[in-house]
Structures are given as structure tokens and as C-alpha cells.
A and B are shown apart, each in its own frame.
Chain A
């Protein structure tokens, strides 16, 4: 077995482009899924029961599906049902957003629920309005619970973006596997792919640990 690592520097440009798309997918998904997650979390608490029920269905459905299936579904089914056609990038983005919105809404919901009722009652007893109590008392405390979970979700999302490679989005995984099948330098390209993911993902995982330590609440 002879290894020829020169294929890796030779493909540096393509790999870098793939890595950029991976990062862009992560950032854009989070940018959409955080606000959407908040909205869905609030909808689930809605006093209008059908809305709350629909929001719950949405969350339970997407939390309990493999992401790769959601990606396929978005690619094959969504265009037919909605009569819209998106580029693979946007299709992948939609799939990741659906999934992460569901996760984030659970994070926000449990974050808000974790604040003891006594805290709201104390604020109301001081004469604050419900809105004030939520903004000034509940949110700042809930934030400490939410942030570490969001950090973990971020790292998971970064890795999950690799799954959109199955619908030919030109992300890092797809790019590396394309070069592998053209050049037949299997070990070299797959190892390079793993190494690049590691280089990008490792600091993120460590950052998430740090956020857990700094903001995490231990019971």
C-alpha cells in the first residue's frame, strides 16, 4: 500500500470551499433556528389550544426523526408538496432548520420552566407586571440554563451539516468524497476530511465545555 498525500494540498482550494459551506450552513441554521425556536416555544404555551397542539406536533415529529431522512424528505417531497424548487444548499438549510428549531424550542421551554414559580410570584408581589416579571426576572435566569444547551446543540449541528452531502450540497463531506471517488486516494482524502472536521470541531467542543463551566447551573 502506497500513500500519496500530495492529493490533499492539491485539493486545498476545493476543501477550503467545502469547509466554508459547512460553516455557512451551521451559522445560517442557528441564525434561523434560534428565533424560530423561541417562537415555537411560545406557541406551545399558547392559550389557544389548537395552536399549542400543532406546535407540539411539530416539535415531537422533528425531534423523533433521523436528520438524514429529513434531508431526503426536504429534497424529494417538499418541492412536490409545496410546488417550489430550491437549490440543494437551500434544501439542506431548510432540513437543518426544521430539525434545530424543534430542538431549540425544547431548550427554551425547559429553560423557562426551570425557573421556580416562586421567582415570578416574588416579582409580581413586588408590583411588577407579568411582562416585567418575565423580562427582568425569568429571562436573565433562564438564559444561564439555555446558553450551555445551545452551545452543545451548535456543536451537534456543525457535525450534522455533513448529512446534507447526500443531496450533493457542496459542503466539506461532499467535496472530500467527490475528490476521493475521482482520484481513488481513499485513505488520504477520508483521513484529511476527518482531520479537517476535527480541527474545526475540536475548538468548538472545547468552547462549549467552557460555556458549560462558566454559565452552567448545577443542581
Chain B
């Protein structure tokens, strides 16, 4: 069996740019999901009943529908239905964030629930208001406790961006497919890209572990 890594090496710039887009998309999606996920979790806990019902339905639906389906729907059906045409990158950003926000919301909710009620009582006894308690006591501790789960979501985000290849976002997966198709060297290309993804995701998994071990005491009451 002969390997020919020539095409992979020749197109390294093309692949490197794919890595850049993968990282950019991942970070954008992670930032959006974290922001909206926290808001959804807060609204689900403190919002009016009707809003809670809608949010629970949204969260459970996102747990039931594949990312691919959400992605494809946003890219192909959404523009026809609304007349709004988004470029692939933005479509992927919206669709992936829409999906991952639900996961983050669940994590934030569980994190907030895991903060001992005594902590809230201590805040109340100091005369703090509920928004003050949420902001200064519950959320900071919850975020520390949620770190492993949020780390998981971050790796999940990178993995999900690979699915955006399906709607032609020129990220790493898409570029690998393109090179493999043009040069007839799928073994070399996909093995290389496998290594690249591993090199992106593995450090996140490990890094979150290491950081969490050092700061977990901040969330332990």
C-alpha cells in the first residue's frame, strides 16, 4: 500500500485556513450559546409561567432533533420561508447556536440548582435582593461547578462545526472533503484531518480538566 502525502502537504495553506474557520466558528457558537443559554436558564427559573413552558418545549425539542436537521433546515428552508438569505457561515452560526443554547441552558439550570439553598439564605440574611443573590452568589458558584459540563459543550461545539461542511461552510471538514475528491488521496487527507481535529479537541478536554481541578474549591460550599 503506497501513501502519497504530496497533495496534503501542497494544500497546507488551504487546510490551515480551514482550521482557522473551524476555530472561529467554534468560538462564535460557544460565545453565543453561553450567553443565550444563561439567559434561557434564568428566564426558565425566574420568568413568567407561559415563558417557562415555551422554553421547556424549546429545550426538549432541541434534545430530540439532530443538529444536522436543524442546520439543513436553517440553511435551505429558512431563507425560503422568511426571504432572509444568510451566507453559510452565518447560517451555521445561527443553527448551531440555536441547538447548543438549549444544552447550555440545561447545564446552567442544573448548576444553579446544585448551589446549596443555605447560600441563598445567607444572601437573604444579609438583606440582598434576589437579582443580587443570583448575580453575586449563585451564578459565580454555578459556573465553577458547571466547568466540566461546559468544557464538554465546547468540545461538542468543535465536533458540531464539522457538520457545517454539509452546508458548504469552508471549514476543515469541508476542505478535507474537497482535497480528497480532487486529488484521489482520501486515506492521507482524512487521516491528516483526523489528527488535526484531535489536536484541537484533546487539549480542550485536558485543559478544562486541569483548570477545574485547580479552581473547583471556589464552587464548593
A45 contacts the other chain (CB 8 A): no
B163 near A190 with CB under 8 A, answer no
Q: How far is the CA of A76 from the CA of B176 in the complex (A)?
A: 12
A77 near B190 with CB under 8 A, answer yes
Query: Which chain B residues border A180 with CB–CB below 8 Å?
Result: 76
A65 near B77 with CB under 8 A, answer no
Q: Which residues of B contact A (CB under 8 A)?
A: 1, 60-61, 63-70, 72-73, 76-77, 80-81, 155, 158-163, 165-166, 173, 176-177, 180, 186-187, 190-191, 193-194, 197-198, 201-202, 205
Other-chain contact of B61, A81, A162, A191, A202 (Cβ < 8 Å): A202
Query: Which chain A residues border B161 with CB–CB below 8 Å?
Result: 66
A197 near B65 with CB under 8 A, answer yes
Main secondary structure of the interface of B (DSSP, over half): helix
A160 near B66 with CB under 8 A, answer yes
User: Could you list 4 further interchain pairs (A-B, Cβ under 8 angstroms) beyond the known A64-B197, A194-B73?
Assistant: A64-B201, A159-B65, A160-B66, A162-B68
Q: Which residues of A contact B (CB under 8 A)?
A: 1, 60-61, 63-69, 72-73, 76-77, 80-81, 155, 159-163, 165-166, 173, 177, 180, 186-187, 190-191, 193-194, 197-198, 200-202, 204-206
Query: Which chain A residues border B166 with CB–CB below 8 Å?
Result: 68, 166
A173 near B173 with CB under 8 A, answer no
Closest 3 CB pairs of A and B: A201-B64, A66-B162, A76-B186
Chain B, residue nearest A163 (CB): B68
A73 near B197 with CB under 8 A, answer no
Q: How far is the CA of A36 from the CA of B70 in the complex (A)?
A: 31
User: Given A64-B155, A68-B163, A77-B191, A190 and B180 touching (CB < 8 A)?
Assistant: no
Q: How far is the CA of A65 from the CA of B173 in the complex (A)?
A: 11
B68 near A191 with CB under 8 A, answer no
